[in-house]
Amino acid sequence: MPDHAASSVSDREIAHFDQLAATWWDPKGPMKPLHDMNPMRTEWVNAHLRRLEGLRGGTLSLLDIGCGAGLASEAFARMGHDVLGLDASPEGIRAAEAHLAANPLPENSGSLTYRKGSAEELVREGQGFDVISALEVIEHVNDPQEFLALLRSLTRPGGLIAVSTLNRTLRSLAVAKIGAEYIARLLPVGTHDWKKFIKPEELHRMGRAVGLRMIDVAGMSYRPMHWRITRDTSINYITMFVRD
């Protein structure tokens, strides 16, 4: 079993998101951009998962890593998948569990559990999943390529890994960093470090280096009042990898 360094945990990032946990589920609060984006990104992922579900012949196990307070985790469970939401933020996991307790899943949903911890812990335990989602996470980790290697270790052969992040362009600096944090105040100041944004070709190269094959990439673009999938990857984008 690979001996991974602690690439998926940044103490500074955990402390930052701990401070946001209490307002994570407020659709008009500091996490409003994630609330707005969430249906689009989870539906895009789910379209890929339905094809895998047909091949596997049953409910898929899904690890939502860096789940925060569970926006995507709950959505995936409601889509019928068996979900483990994992985050190193204790306050985020407490907020996720509290929201789930107050808003139980419908009977036709998959299962949903939460765990405070890291991907490295799951690797040491020998765990494996059909699908991993890492949405708006990789730009916050210590070592992105090692993080992808961790995800591969946790994915069963033929399984899928969804990764969404931000492109490192002048446009993303102007819009996603300066505009969103300092001008429009859509995000708390310090949410992102533009230097840690990753170009799609860099992400493709990192994945290939650790044994992952990128099978799809799409832009996520904001238009007044809604997000949509586009070909424009200059700011936000989402990718799908397969472990052969």
3 occurs within a structural domain: no
Q: Is the pLDDT of residue 3 over 50?
A: no
Instruction: State the Cα–Cα distance between residues 72 and 160, nearest whole angstrom.
Output: 16
Is-contact 115 86, C-beta < 8 A? Answer: yes
Count, residues in the chain: 244
**pLDDT at residue 180, rounded to an integer:** 67
Total domain count, the chain: 1
What is the band of 185 on the pLDDT scale with cuts at 50, 70, 90?
low
User: Which amino acid does the sequence have at 62?
Assistant: L
6 occurs within a structural domain: no
4 occurs within a structural domain: no
Q: Is 94 annotated as a binding residue?
A: no
Q: Is 126 annotated as a binding residue?
A: no
**pLDDT at residue 208, rounded to an integer:** 98
Residue 149 in tokens: 């290697």
**pLDDT at residue 243, rounded to an integer:** 97
Is-contact 88 119, C-beta < 8 A? Answer: no
Kindly state the helix (H) or strand (E) to which residue 50 belongs, with its residue range.
Answer: helix 32-56
Kindly give, in sequence order, each residue whose CB lies less than 8 Å from that of residue 205, ignoring residues fewer than 6 positions away.
none
Is-contact 48 240, C-beta < 8 A? Answer: yes
Instruction: State the Cα–Cα distance between residues 36 and 46, nearest whole angstrom.
Output: 17
2 occurs within a structural domain: no
* 43-47, 117-121, 208-212, 223-227, range with the lowest pLDDT: 223-227
187 occurs within a structural domain: yes
* 125-129, 159-163, 176-180, range with the lowest pLDDT: 176-180
Q: Is the pLDDT of residue 1 over 50?
A: no
| Rg from Cα positions in the chain | 17
Task: Give the pLDDT mean for 37-62.
Answer: 92
Task: Give the pLDDT mean for 29-37.
Answer: 89
Whole-Å CA distances, 123 to 71, 103, 111, 149, 207? 24, 31, 21, 11, 18
Q: Is the pLDDT of residue 36 over 90?
A: yes
**Residue pLDDT, tens place only, 82-116:** 999 999 999 999 999 999 999 999 999 999 999 99
Q: Is 87 annotated as a binding residue?
A: yes
> Considering the chain, what percentage of its residues have pLDDT values greater than 90?
72
32 occurs within a structural domain: yes
203 occurs within a structural domain: yes
Residue 50: which CATH number?
Answer: 3.40.50.150
**Structural domain span for residue 33:** 11-242
81 occurs within a structural domain: yes
Q: Is 232 annotated as a binding residue?
A: no
- What distance separates the 2 farthest-apart alpha carbons in the chain? 49
What is the pairing mode between strands 226-230 and 112-116? unpaired
**Residue pLDDT, tens place only, 194-205:** 889 999 999 999
Instruction: State the Cα–Cα distance between residues 184 and 228, nearest whole angstrom.
Output: 20
